[in-house]
Structure 1
Amino acid sequence: MSVTVEQVSSIKKKLVIEVAADVVAAELENGFKKAAKNANIKGFRKGKVPRAMLEQHYGDRVKYEAINSLINNTLYKSMVDNKVEAVSQPEITETGEIEKDQSFTYSAEVEVRPEIQAKDYTGLELEKEILNFDDAVVDQQIEQMASSKVQLAVTKRKKAREGDTVIIDFEGFIDDTPFENGAAKDYQLELGSNSFIPGFEDQVVGMKREEEKEINVNFPESYGAKELAGKPAMFKVLVKEIKEKVEPKINDDLAKEFGSENLAELKETVRDNAMKQEEGRIKAQLQENLMNALVEKNEFEIPEGMVKNQLMHLKDSFSQRLKAQGMSLEMLGMNDESFATTYREMAVQQVKGELILDSIAEQEKIELEESAVEEKMQAFADESNAPLEEVKKYFENASALAGLKGQMLNEKVIEFLLESATVTEVEPKQPEEEQEETVEEES
C-alpha cells in the first residue's frame, strides 16, 4: 500500500491511497467465495455455481462490497501511519475501478487542526471592571431566601385575591356536555400563576369560600388537545378554601434554618458568597476581553468539524443545566438547528481561542506539572467532600483526564498573558451603556 498526503489548505489534507494488486485480488476472491455459498441460480446447487456465472450475477455487488472493505481496512491505518489527525469524519472524494490483478486507488479528504503561529499576544491592553460591591445585594438575597420558606395559611379575608392559593372543585363543559379530563376536586390553584386557561384565574379573583360560579373562557387556538383548541368552554367552580402566603420574619430563627447561628452570621456568609461570585464574574469578563483581543489579532481558518464538535459540547452542557432546573431546550422553543444558529459565533470564538492558547503554550514552552494535576484532584475532593481515590478513579478515563489537563494548561497560559498585559481598571458599565453597545454591534 502506498499513500500520498497533499495539503489542500490550512485546514484540509488529501490522502491518495493505492492498495496493492494482491490485496485487491484476495478481497475479491473472498467476496466471490461468500457469494458462492449463498448463490441461488437456477440449474446450479448452492456452492457449485461456476465463477463466470457468479461474476455475471454477483460481480457488481461483490466489487461494491470489496471497495467498502478495502477503504475501511486502509483509510484509518493510512491516517495513523502518516500522522494525519482528523477532526471530523473523512470524506471519500474519488474511487477508481476495482479489477483482479490490478491495484485499487482512491482519494479521501480530511479536516485537520490548523498549524498556527500565534502573534501579538504579549503587552495586550485590557480593561477590567472595578469591584463596586453594593451591600443592598445582601438584603435582596436574604429576602429571596426568606421567600423560599414561604408557607400557605388559611386567610381571614373573605375574598380571594391575586397571589392567593385557592382550593377548588371544577367541571368543564363544551356545548353543555362535560369534556374528558375537564373536572377535578380539591384542585390547588395559585391565582396569577397563569397555569390555567387564559381568563380563568382572573374570574376566580374576588370569589368567596363556598361560592359557586360559572366561568366562561376560550381555549387557545394553540391548545395541546386539538379537540378543545379554539373552542368556548364553561366551568362550574366551587371555592372551598382560600390560603395566603406567609413569609417568615427575617431574624435569627430564619438564619438558623440556613445553618447560621444568627442573622449577622447569615449576612456575612451571604456577603462573602456574593463577593466571590462578583469577583468571579469580573475575572471571567477580563478573560473574555483577553480572548477577544487574541482572536482579533490572529486571523486564520478553522475546520467546520471543530465548530460542530464545540456546538455539540455547548448544547450538551446547556441541556444539562436546563435539566437540573426541570427544563429543556424544547421548552425554550429551541431545536438542534436553532441552537446551532444562535450559538455558532460563540463556538467559533471558543475554537479559535483554544487553538491560539495551544500555540502560545508551545511557543513559550509552557507546560503542566504532574504535581499540579494531583493538587487539582485534591482540591476537587475537598470541595465535593469526596474521597481522593474516587476522584482519581473518575480521571482514569482518558477523555476526562485530557479535558482536565487542557483546562489547566489554558489557565496557565492565560495567567502568563495577563502578567504581560496592561490592565486598566474601569468603572462598571451601566445597563443602558451595554444596551447601546449591543445595538451598535448589531447594526
Structure 2
Amino acid sequence: MHPEIQKKMNVTKKDIDNLNAVLTVEIAKDDYSGKVDKVLKDYRKNANIPGFRKGHVPMGMVKKQYGKAVLVEEVNKLLQDALQKFITEEKIDILGNPLPKNEAEINWDADDYSFEFELGLSPQFEIDLKGKEITHYKIVADEEMLNNQVKTIRKQYGKLISKDEVEKGDEITGTFTSEEKGIDKKATISTEEIDGKEQLKALLGAKVGDTVSLKTKGMFADDHDNQKHFGVSHDDAHGLDVEVSFKIEEVNTREMAELNQELFDKIFGKEGVVTSEEELKAKIKEDAEGQFAQQSDQKLLNDVVESLIENTKFDLPEAFLQRWIANSGEEKMTEEDAKAEFERSEKGLRYQLIEGKLRADHKLHVTFDELKDYSKGMIKTQMAQFGQLDPSEEELDSIAARILSNKEEVERLSEQMNTAKMLNFFKENAKLKTKEITYDKFIKEAYA
C-alpha cells in the first residue's frame, strides 16, 4: 500500500498506516514577519528602559531583548491555527492530540521552519448489535416478598412492648464491648438478624441486665452489619473474628399493627389511596417493580456495553497513545507508567469510540429542545410532589431557563438523557432475551 499524502496550504499529511500519520507544517518568514514586527512595535511604544524616553527605545535594542521570545510565540500561534484548521477541514478523526516529532531540532535562528507532528487516527470498524444474545431481566415482586413487606409495615407501625427475657422475634438494645478491637457501641438488634446458631442460642432466654459473650464471626449474614452494630471500620468489618460482650439494657417485642383503614391512610398520608390488604400488596408490587426496573436497566446497560467492547474488534494506535499519555500531563510519565495508564483506560476508550459511532450513525445526540423538554418534565414531577399539579407553561419555561443557564446542571442532565437514549436504543436494537425472575434470584444470578 502506498502511503497517502494530502497537502493543503502549508500543511502536508502523510499516512504511515491506518492508525498513524505525520503532519508537516511549513511556516515561512512571510507568514510571521508582519505579526512579529507589529508586536515588537507595540513593545517599543510601551517599553520602559532606563536612559530612553518612552516610545524612543531603539528598535535594535527591543529586538535584541524581546525578538526571539516574540518570534517563538507568534510562530506557535500560527502553528496551532494551521493544525486545527487542517484537522477540522479535512475531517480527520484523531485520538489524543498531535504530538511534536522534531521539536528539539528546530533552529530558531533560521527564517523558515518545518514542524512535524505525530497523529493517532481513530480506527474504522463495524458494530454488530445482533451478535451475542443478552439477558434482559424482568424482576417481579413475588408473593413471599409482598407478604414480608406487609409484615415489615405492620411491625414498623406496631407497638413496642417491654419485656424482661429474650424470645424469638424480639428486639434487643444493649452495648457491645471488646478491648481487643476497641469496640464500645450501643445498638439495637433483632433476633431475626442473627444468622449464627450459637449466637442466637446464647441470646434466647437472656434477661435485661445480663451480659452475654458472643463471637462476631458468622453472627450476621452480611459482614457490613458488623460495621453498623459494632462501630468498626469498613475494612475491619469484613471477616471480623473477635469475642464481644453484649450487656442487655432493653428487650422489646413488637405487637403488629392491624391491617385497617387507619393504617392504610397513615402509610400513604391520604385517605382512601388503599382500602384493603390486596390493594396494599398491589401498591407495594407496583413501587417495588418500578425500582427493580431501574436495577434491571442498569444491568442490561452494563452487559450490552461489556458485550460491545468484547465483540467489536479493532486496533488502536497503542504506541502513539502511550507516548501521548506520557507527555500530556503536567509531569512527564515513565514509559512503564504510561503503558499501565493506557491499559487501565483502554476499555473506556474502546467504548467511547463505539458509543460515538452509534450516536453518529443513528442520530442519538441530545438536542437542546429535548434537554429543555426533559428538564420541564422533571420540574413538573417535582412540583407535583409539593401539590402544584398544574403549573403554567410560562412558569415551567422560566424555571427551565434558569436550570439550563447553569453549565454543571446542563452537563448532568445531558448525561442522564444520553444514557437514557442509549439504553432505549439497545432495548430496541440489541439481541435480547427477557427472563422473569424474583429479586433474590436476580441478585444471585446477575451478580454472582
Q: What TM-score bracket applies, with the shorter chain setting the length?
A: 0.5 to 0.7
Deviation at 1:133, TM superposition (A): 3.4
1:256 to 260, 265, 269: 265
2:299 to 285, 295, 305: 285
1:82 to 65, 77, 90: 90
Give the 3-state SS of the residue equivalent to 1:258 in structure 2. Answer: helix
Give the 3-state SS of the residue equivalent to 1:116 in structure 2. Answer: coil
Cα deviations across residues 380-405 of structure 1 (Å, max 9, x unaligned)?
56544575535864569886897677
2:64 to 38, 56, 60: 56
Cα deviations across residues 360-388 of structure 1 (Å, max 9, x unaligned)?
638xxx99999998986775565445755
Change (3 A) 1:152 1:346: farther
Letter in 2 for 1:116: F
2:145 to 125, 137, 148: 137
Give the 3-state SS of the residue equivalent to 1:122 in structure 2. Answer: coil
Letter in 2 for 1:357: L
2:27–2:75 CA contact under 8 A, matched in 1: no
Query: In the alignment, what sits opposite 2:288?
Result: 274
Q: Is the aligned partner of 1:294 residue 2:274?
A: no
Q: Is the aligned partner of 1:117 residue 2:126?
A: yes
Q: Which runs of 5+ in 2 are unaligned?
A: 1-8, 165-170, 188-206, 210-232, 234-248, 322-340, 385-390
Q: Which runs of 5+ in 1 are unaligned?
A: 166-190, 209-222, 224-241, 307-339, 439-443
Letter in 1 for 2:72: Y
1:152–1:246 CA contact under 8 A, matched in 2: yes
2:371–2:414 CA contact under 8 A, matched in 1: no
In 2: Cα distance, 1:379 partner to 1:45 partner: 67
Query: In the alignment, what sits opposite 1:198?
Result: 182
Cα deviations across residues 183-232 of structure 1 (Å, max 9, x unaligned)?
xxxxxxxx5699xx9344479xx999xxxxxxxxxxxxxx9xxxxxxxxx
1:14–1:109 CA contact under 8 A, matched in 2: yes
1:380–1:391 CA contact under 8 A, matched in 2: no
In 2: Cα distance, 1:106 partner to 1:132 partner: 64
2:29 to 16, 21, 35: 21
Letter in 2 for 1:198: G
Query: In the alignment, what sits opposite 1:423?
Result: 433
Aligned pairs for 1:321-340 within 5 A: none
Give the 3-state SS of the residue equivalent to 1:18 in structure 2. Answer: strand
Give the 3-state SS of the residue equivalent to 2:24 in structure 1. Answer: strand
Give the 3-state SS of the residue equivalent to 2:130 in structure 1. Answer: coil
Q: Is the aligned partner of 1:347 residue 2:348?
A: yes
Change (3 A) 1:78 1:269: same
Change (3 A) 1:132 1:73: closer
Change (3 A) 1:373 1:47: closer
In 1: Cα distance, 2:379 partner to 2:151 partner: 33
Q: Is the aligned partner of 1:410 residue 2:422?
A: yes
Deviation at 1:286, TM superposition (A): 4.0
In 2: Cα distance, 1:103 partner to 1:289 partner: 55
Letter in 1 for 2:283: T
| Structure 1 range deviating more: 351-360 or 264-273 | 351-360
In 2: Cα distance, 1:272 partner to 1:24 partner: 70
Cα deviations across residues 325-361 of structure 1 (Å, max 9, x unaligned)?
xxxxxxxxxxxxxxx9998577356425514534763
Cα deviations across residues 229-250 of structure 1 (Å, max 9, x unaligned)?
xxxxxxxxxxxxx999997954
Query: In the alignment, what sits opposite 1:106?
Result: 115
Letter in 2 for 1:56: K
| Structure 1 range deviating more: 126-135 or 290-299 | 126-135
1:2 to 6, 10, 14: 10
